[in-house]
Amino acid sequence: MKFIPNLFTLLNLLGGCLAIAFLLTDGMVLVPTDQGTLFFDLPASIGMASIFIGVAAVLDFFDGLLARLLKADSSMGVQLDSLADVVTFGVAPGMILFSFLRLSWSAELTALDTSVLYLVPAFLVPLAAAWRLARFNITPSNLPYFEGVPSPAVGLTVASFPLAYWVEGDSGMVRLLQESWFLYLIALLLSVSMVIRLPMMNLKMHSFGWKENQPRYLFLAIGVGLAMWLKWSAALPVFAAYVLLSLLFQKQIR
């Protein structure tokens, strides 16, 4: 029975690999306009990458839960979990940002002369995820908070972008996702949030009291409200709310 948590971890890794496969296979497509011209766009199937990252996040939650229930915690499991998370919540989200950066630069008049170096900042996310997870493996695991934002939170935030792009239509978020400056800023901020050594809120609650869980209840209320209002475009504001509440309630989360 002790192999079951590691099996879930490997399925998490498989989800990340499948997400990358969809991102690599479909690339960009030429779409005709009503005026008869053509423009580059991302295929709707890129949303499958988001779905596989989401499924992998569920599996990532259950591998830890099962390890505790089955008393199957092991050094092997810790290392395997971090290796899987680097791919699923680091490399796959980096590839999503890479795809959107390609899309943003394809709209420029100088698109054919665009250097691949302009796309490299997308990979700040996997680099930061690898650094954070390596540090996590050598940090005491009994801390009541996270040092920096967990990589799954960053991975899920980026994974929402393709779904927002295809579901939300002509929203402000969709327009921002076509701007290279916005994508560079997001890549930088998400990467810094993972490697920064500030305490970030752990959402696990050991009681239901208001005083000790005030930032968690506030985050839950804000998250639900934003999700109802913005739908798939809510992921980034929810992420920002998580970071802001963690910084405002440093004493409560320690």
Closest of 157, 149, 169, 124 to residue 236, by C-alpha: 157
Residue 92 CB contacts under 8 Å (≥ 6 apart), including other chains: 16, 19, 20, 23, 49, 52, 53, 155, 159
Q: How confident is the model at residue 113 (pLDDT cuts 50, 70, 90)?
A: low
Query: How far are the Cα atoms of 157, 171, 182, 188 from residue 175, in angstroms, in the given order?
Result: 17, 7, 10, 19
Buried b (16+ CB within 10 A) or exposed e, 142-157: eeeebbbbbbbbbbbb
In a domain, 242, yes or no: no
In a domain, 23, yes or no: yes
In a domain, 67, yes or no: yes
Where residue 32 falls (left for φ over 0; alpha for ψ -120 to 50; beta otherwise) is: beta
120-141: average pLDDT: 92
Reported as a single tens digit per residue, the pLDDT across 41-89 is 677 778 899 999 999 999 999 988 887 888 777 888 889 999 999 999 9
Q: What is the pLDDT of residue 210?
A: 81
Look at strands 29-32 and 38-41 and give their pairing: antiparallel
Q: What is the pLDDT of residue 206?
A: 75
Structure-token match 């630069």, residue found: 105
For 13-22, 65-74, 96-105, 209-218, which range has the lowest pLDDT when averaged over its residues? 65-74
β-strand partners of 29: 41
In a domain, 185, yes or no: yes
| Cα atoms found within 13 Å of the Cα of residue 9, Cβ hemisphere only | 24
In a domain, 160, yes or no: yes
In a domain, 116, yes or no: yes
Q: How many domains does the chain have?
A: 1
CATH (domain of 61): 1.20.120
Contact 164, 132 (CB under 8 A): no
Name the most confidently modeled range: 9-18, 40-49, 100-109, 245-254: 9-18
Buried b (16+ CB within 10 A) or exposed e, 67-89: beeeebeeeebbebbbebbbbbb
C-beta contacts of 178-186 below 8 A and 24+ residues apart: 178/100, 178/103, 178/104, 178/107, 179/104, 180/101, 180/104, 180/105, 180/118, 183/97, 183/100, 183/101, 183/104, 183/121, 183/122, 184/121, 186/97, 186/158, 186/236
In a domain, 233, yes or no: no
Please determine, for residue 154, whether its predicted confidence score (pLDDT) is greater than 90: yes
Contact 19, 57 (CB under 8 A): no
User: What is the extent of the structural domain holding 120?
Assistant: 4-199
Decide: helix, strand or coil at residue 43. Answer: coil
Distance CA 58, CA 28 (A): 29
In a domain, 214, yes or no: no
Closest of 121, 101, 193 to residue 155, by C-alpha: 193
Q: What is the pLDDT of residue 12?
A: 97
